[in-house]
Chains A and B, each alone.
Chain A
Amino acid sequence: MAKKTISRKSWIALAVFAGAFLLLISSTGLWETVLSFIFPTTRQVLHPRGTLLRLVGEHLWLVFVSSGLATIFGVGIGIVVTRPFGKQYLPLATNMSSLGQTFPPVAVLALAVPALGFGFRPTVVALFLYGILPIIRNTIAGIQSVSSEVKEAAFGTGMSQLQVLAKIELPLSLRVIMSGIRISAVINIGTATVGATIGAGGLGSPIIAGLVGENPAFLLQGAIPAALLAFLIDSFLGNIEKSLSAA
């Protein structure tokens, strides 16, 4: 009972924070007033690419598509390599996902450009490739943490392979898998910001424009929402993760 109230409290706090964030990014007039007050010499204080709401939308869409695909494929690969027929590939999957995480995200993004050109597509592919690694790793770790006695007991009651997976292994490892998804999404929000340099849009575009054109107003316009968005998504997925453990 005590756990439930704590979790409800943190959901309410998150909802308030999300509401405030939404209000902040939709009040264009406020940004204009405050930024032209702080930087009186800067002629253009609002980034011309679009409203903040639109930039946040672009950013979230990039992360949603890539992390969504990464979740589907990452969990899928994690399940396959822990089945009897895929066990032979388990060491390879483990090694690849930890080796792959040594690759700097910026380098992965840069390497996607020669292969796929500029724009939305290479960014999604790079975010997907990078984002899949922590999910594979945590899915494997989660499923492996289910004790063999529990599984044997389940088999003993006459459950099939598929039932053990669906009713025992996945529910018990859900929290670890969710943690992988959270790590992946937070990394992707950060890397998506760099995606602006290859024309993917999102909150990186005012930051990059601000750095290139030495316009501090643009900088803050991208950097503040980007930092808040990352924190918001991290807390949101973190709350889901915690509520899973309470269950």
Chain B
Amino acid sequence: MKNTSGNLSVNMMAILGIAIMFISPIFPGFISVSETRISEPIPVRLATVSVVAFLAIVATTFLTLIFSLYSRRNLLSFLMGITGGLLPVAGFAVAGLSAGRLAEATGPFARVSPSSGLWLAVLAGYVIVFAAMRTLEDNKIMRGLLVLVPVVAITALLLSGLLADLSIMKEFANRRERFFSEFARHMMICAGAVGFGAIIGIPLGVFSNRSARVEKPVFAFVNFIQTVPGVALFGLLVAPLAYLSRAFPVLRQLGIGGIGWAPAMIALVLYSLLPITRNTYASLKAIPADTVEAGVGMGMSKRQVLFRIEIPISLPIVLAGVRTAAIQAVGNTAMAAIIGAGGLGVFIFQGLGQAAMDLVLLGAIPVVLLALFVDGLIQLLIGIVTPRGVLEKTDDKT
């Protein structure tokens, strides 16, 4: 425990999370009910939904508070993190279980959705889990479990069908196949864009490192592209591509036109260039000359210097650039649905067009989760490839 004030061990971060968790059940809207999928949602308190659930959640929050007072002990700190992480999952379970009954009482087309109170519980859960992880800094297993347990619980809840009566799940059920195909398309567009971005961006970074004459225009270009708003870049590409596909029927047969995947892919590749090029450039600058000399002195060949010294040192930094590019691509692909590129953004813009908020969520929530997943995955990869001797900070500012 680092945060001690006097004899009392008060974990202020955990207290903040628990305070938010206490607000959640008494918030005016824990869930909301609307007459149809597009009508005004009416907030419903948790106590109105179910008194038992209300008492159970308040009691568990108290329990979490008690655990937090003894969070100097590893086990109790762990328990605090577990209850804190499971509380929002329990909130979703309550919402799912009561959704059918509430909808029936409202009308034939009524929809039930999570509301501010439940989202607050998610925020509180994050803060509590984070606070617990901080106190368990030297216990990798417990820290892993703190993240794993809520994730497994919410996945199990989703798969169990208990949430089927929630509005967002109804939107999902109505377009199950479309959802999975757009999800796959989203991932393919992102992977393609970042892949091409790496194929072009890494050599650009290497050449920039070799000559200042290349460096200046390359960075002026990629920096400029990065400032251009996504929608504007799509807009600027649509007109010329439409013209080209009219002029050359071959392009049209390939599916390249003013709208669709072609302008989206070009824009996304262009956006991927800056982080990848910049980090490649920086990674090459980060290779200490004496390390290379030491390698040569040990009798390494040029190849060995490249594979045993230069690449291992630069790879984590290049990957950090790929990570920034990939996270950005996940979001920009959602935007690309505006120009008919497909992907999860389709649901966001359809939902906005119909004023059907749960359809918006069906697009937006997976996009956020995908971004978090890609972030975690590449960070894991960076951790694996970072040589033990290199404690370089591969931080990145975009």
Chain A residues in contact with chain B, CB under 8 A? 88-89, 91-92, 95, 99, 102-107, 110-111, 113-115, 118, 134, 138, 179, 183, 186, 189-194, 196-198, 203-204, 207-208, 210-211, 216, 219-220, 222-224, 226-227, 230-231, 234
Contact = CB atoms under 8 A, between A and B. Distances in A.
Name the residue among B232, B358, B372 with the largest chain A CB count within 10 angstroms.
Answer: B232
A74 B134 CA distance: 23
A208 B357 CA distance: 20
A92 B232 contact: no
B239 interface: yes
A223 B232 contact: yes
B130 interface: yes
B235 A194 contact: no
Contacts of A99: 372
Given A107-B331, A231-B227, A198 B352 contact: yes
Nearest to A235: B227
B221 interface: no
A208 B338 CA distance: 8
A227 to B, nearest CB: 4
17 contacts: A89-B12, A92-B127, A92-B130, A106-B364, A107-B348, A110-B348, A111-B360, A183-B397, A190-B228, A193-B229, A196-B231, A203-B232, A211-B234, A211-B259, A220-B239, A223-B234, A227-B228
Contacts of A138: 397
A91 B134 contact: yes
A166 B8 CA distance: 33
A63 B357 CA distance: 25
Q: Which 6 A-B pairs have the closest CB atoms?
A: A104-B331, A223-B235, A190-B229, A114-B357, A226-B232, A223-B232
B334 interface: yes
Interface string B203-244: 000000000000000000000100111111111101100100
B327 to A, nearest CB: 5
B331 A227 contact: no
B117 to A, nearest CB: 12
A227 B232 contact: yes
Nearest to B345: A106
Contacts of A223: 231-236
A211 B238 contact: yes
A106 B130 contact: no
Given A114-B360, A183-B398, A190 B230 contact: yes
Interface in B307-352: 327, 330-332, 334-335, 338-339, 345, 348-349, 351-352
A131 B52 CA distance: 40
Contacts of B113: 114
Nearest to A114: B357
Nearest to A104: B331
A88 B227 contact: no
Nearest to A92: B13
B352 A104 contact: no
B386 interface: no
Given A102-B372, A104-B330, A107-B367, A219 B16 contact: no
Contacts of A234: 227
B182 interface: no
A111 B355 CA distance: 13
B111 to A, nearest CB: 12
